Amino acid sequence: MRGTLVTGKPGKAAVPPAPEIMDWDFATADTQELTHGLHYYPARMVPQIAARLLDLLWNSPTLILDPFAGSGTTLLEALLRRHRTIGIDVNPVANYLARAKCTIPETPIDVAILQDQIDHEETSIDLEVDPLYLQAQKNIDYWYERPVAEHLLAIHHGIRNYLDVTEDQTQQWVLWVTLMATVYACSRGTQDGSSFHTRGTLPSRETVPVPYFTRKLVENIAKIGRLAETFASIRYPPIEGSLADVLDGSTRATFNLTLGNSLDVLETLPEESIGGVITSPPYGDEHSTVNYTRYTKHAAFWFGLTPAEVKQGSGETLSSRKLTTLPDGIHETENVLGELRRAHELDSEKVVHFLSEFHQVLSSFHRILTPGAGCAIVIANRRVRQVNIPMDLVTSELAASAGFSVEKIYYRTFPKKVVAWTTISGSSMDQENIIILRK
């Protein structure tokens, strides 16, 4: 149901009132504008949703937090509205992409010098002794033809050499993200939502690694150029700083990206230090919903991360603590969990783990937000073992238990967003809920 509004009383879960007409589907919107189009990321928040929420909930610049930042959609839209912003994500590849979206290199990228470095590396690649290849050999051999792997290694090492020559590390993020695009274009795999499947055929000649990388880099440099012009027009340069710098507010730093378990980082933030939260958390545990690690590990290996580092990130996603403590008074949620327990005991335990940690996240939000601050949660409904998990009602109950009032809920469909429509247990995400909370 498009544009439906639901309101609630302080401390109470939402109840349905008369609808408010507001289109949240954005079916015809350009979701790739500026640097949002640098590269695909699974289940990415539509930029227009973040933009509208920022415009609706905050009249003046403040400190906006996205603790499940993903590819940085909220961060970029907040910066474009002169907010300071903090993003947290456990996935290192997402961190690379979010930085690329929000960083304007201090000096222009010299494509000719970079090409020279890549050409030089192409003449000396030896897979048998290359450390990057050897540490991820099993994965690389499965997904890439040997000549393709050699060319991708040449690009990786060429980027490293180029950055040493130019000594401008602010250029690196768009270079790595462009390599990411090349990695997926030139593999044996095909993308389906957050999954990656063997397609059985080799990429076309148009996706030969080095020429593809060069073409994509020129496109991405143009996108960053348009972003730079936009920030120059509002006189608010995106400047990354430490978490402490951005929290301080008196420094020139306007954004921070922190790699780590979101709940761990939230627990370090000072009480009443955040002016607002906009986030799209995972819809459930990573193994039964959108598996970000499964998708991003292909790029992670080419960035130089080891299989152990990739696995570590996967083990720190929401629900990894295996908590089993839920608050009292969440009657709708308990009814759903009871139905799920009758359907499948093990899967019901996984949902409890996720919801227990999700409640801790919401409680952390309430602690760190300033009095009266808004919090927007964008999260989809899902099904587990044919049992519907209505995340609008579940989130409302958990948030009310954490001390929030549920101000509004909007519903939207998925005209463009790529999600896992089906799982082995049946239909998955079919509706997205935009839940407005108030401290």
pLDDT tens column, 222-239: 999 999 999 999 999 999
* Ranges of residues in the chain whose predicted pLDDT is under 70: 1-21, 190-206, 284-291, 414-430
Please tell me the predicted confidence (pLDDT) of residue 17: 47
Asked if residue 321 belongs to a domain, the reply is no
Which single residue is written with the structure tokens 């999600």? Answer: 419
Query: Which pTM was predicted?
Result: 0.89
Give me the count of residues in the chain.
Answer: 439
Please tell me the predicted confidence (pLDDT) of residue 320: 83
Please tell me the predicted confidence (pLDDT) of residue 285: 64
Asked if residue 161 belongs to a domain, the reply is no
In the beta sheet, which residues pair with residue 197?
190
Please tell me the predicted confidence (pLDDT) of residue 321: 84
Please tell me the predicted confidence (pLDDT) of residue 110: 97
Q: Which of 37, 44, 87, 32 is nearest to 432 (CA)?
A: 44
Asked if residue 84 belongs to a domain, the reply is yes
Asked if residue 131 belongs to a domain, the reply is no
Please tell me the predicted confidence (pLDDT) of residue 334: 95
Single-letter amino acid, residue 68: F
Single-letter amino acid, residue 80: L
What's the CA gap between 378 and 67, in Å, rounded?
12
Please tell me the predicted confidence (pLDDT) of residue 420: 47
What is the CB neighbour count within 10 angstroms for residue 207?
16
Asked if residue 337 belongs to a domain, the reply is yes
Q: Which helix (H) or strand (E) holds 427?
A: strand 426-427
Asked if residue 394 belongs to a domain, the reply is yes
The DSSP bridge pattern shows strands 432-438 and 405-412 to be antiparallel
Q: Which domain holds residue 383?
A: 34-92+239-289+327-438
Number of domains, the chain: 1
Asked if residue 129 belongs to a domain, the reply is no
Asked if residue 342 belongs to a domain, the reply is yes
CATH of the domain at 358: 3.40.50.150
